[in-house]
Structure 1
């Protein structure tokens, strides 16, 4: 009989793989001292998430409740894996993600899940929520807005992603700027002329890092 797909079972699986060295490495890159760390390498975390990808969303919600870094990483990874499945209820994934946005508060939680869980769902829908997030005082929300746009860019739809980059071009937070640069790079791979126009108009307001990242799309064409 297969093991139940529960938050408790995930925690047990993670604790069985705990390492003091990994705990120190993960702790060193977290910004919130209240976050607990078990100490599991990321490849193993993703393997555990993959093994639990059919977990009911009620249990994923319980994982998101945890203050343990790896448990929430499993949660967002499960949402990402489920978003890739044919016939999935994208609205349910999106609604859980948005309702628990307060728990998706590290750069890697956002990058792991926002493109497919949020961006994919919004492909054929209004994107007002992304503009609200882009104007949020919470810089994790602003990063989430531009990161979700990655999947929209991938579809060839550039208007809203460019508008989001306009809002965030002068953002003071490095971890927002990094993904603005990535969004612009991907826009440039679809339409180099639109990237050049943006850089001519707003390039001086981007961070040096974002500007370099964006320009790689143009350099690759030369």
Structure 2
């Protein structure tokens, strides 16, 4: 007999607390830069592994939307992650061919945008686990469309906060997987002068995926035109899977 289903936010919080580890929490706080001046300053960690969090999420399918929203707004990192992953799971389950429910997908998409705008999707792991699905799969359909950068992505990428900008970037993974590199290339060009290293990493990662999943020549064409201006970290991530000589040539252009 498996573990019982979790019916409320309080039950999810109790399950996360039971899986917590103070030593791991201390390590996570340092890794995620929660100290003064860090990008996750004042974030609170319980020390729950991602696999353990996902196992708890699998038991939370019946959680009411208000309870999910309560978790997403929590000051505790793993509680926010659990709430967001419940949203992802519902969104993806509603996208299956035999059980497709576009109303559920639209509702989770809107709740996600509310969470992003409220500042609850506020660390790179939270963004990277959610943006491709809860934003990207909605605004970047399987067939490329004329509107390269949808209005909501344009709104997020101009935010003063790093996290909506990263949401915008990672959302393009859905377009890349559908064979359309244009949204990523458009955002990458806009973000060449962004001051945040975590954005440089995200943009470089997505550019690398363009080269791997769509067309290597599309990546190298972008690099030919922009490598000289690209931040070092962005260029390093983007060229990671090129051969050593080509990688060195692009890095020498800076």
For normalisation by structure 1, the TM-score amounts to 0.91
| Structure 1 runs not aligned, ≥5 long | none
Larger Cα-atom Rg: 2
Residue number in structure 2 paired with 1:156: 179
CA shift for structure 1 position 59? 1.8
In 2, distance between residues paired with 1:5 and 1:166? 45
From 85, 88, 98, the equivalent of 1:80 is 88
Of the candidates 95, 110, 122, which is equivalent to residue 105 of structure 1?
A: 122
Match in the other structure for 1:52: 60
Over 3 Å counting, the alpha-carbon distance change for 1:162 and 1:33 in structure 2 is closer
Aligned counterpart in structure 1 of residue 78 of structure 2, from 70, 83, 102: 70
Q: Per-residue displacement from partner, 1:104-153 (whole Å, max 9, x unpaired)?
A: 00010000111111101112385211122112221111111101111111
Per-residue deviation at 1:2?
5.0
Partner Cα separation in structure 1 for residue 239 and residue 4 of structure 2: 50
Give ranges in structure 2 of 5+ residues lacking alignment.
Answer: 35-39, 247-254
More helix by share: 1
Question: Counterpart of 2:140 in 1: which secondary structure?
Answer: helix
Equivalent residue for 2:46, pick from 30, 38, 51 = 38
Following TM superposition, by how much is the alpha carbon of 1:33 offset from its aligned partner in structure 2, in angstroms? 4.2
Q: More displaced, 197-206 or 91-100?
A: 197-206
Find the partner of 1:123 among 140, 153, 165: 140
Deviations 1:42-90, CA, capped at 9 Å, x for gaps:
2211211122144332221111121111100101211222232122422
Q: Could you tell me which residue of structure 2 aligns to residue 95 of structure 1?
A: 110
How large is the Cα RMSD of the aligned pairs?
2.1
Counterpart secondary structure, 1:193: helix
Structure-1 separation of matches of 2:200 and 2:48 = 29
CA contact (8 A) 1:38 1:69 kept: yes
CA distance in 2, matches of 1:33, 1:26: 12
Paired residues, what number?
221
- Residue 16 (structure 2) pairs with residue 8 (structure 1): no
8 Å contact 2:6–2:60 — kept in the other structure? Answer: no
Aligned-residue offset at 1:217 = 4.4
Structure 1 pair 156–54 and aligned structure 2 pair: CA distance change class (3 A) = farther
Tell me which stretches of 4 or more aligned residues in structure 1 moved more than 4 Å.
none
Q: Is the 8 A contact 1:54 1:82 kept in 2?
A: no
Partner of 1:200: 224
Please report how far the alpha carbon of residue 4 of structure 1 lies from its aligned counterpart in structure 2 after TM superposition. Answer: 4.3
Deviation at 1:171, TM superposition (A): 1.6
- For 1:178, the equivalent position in structure 2 comes to 201
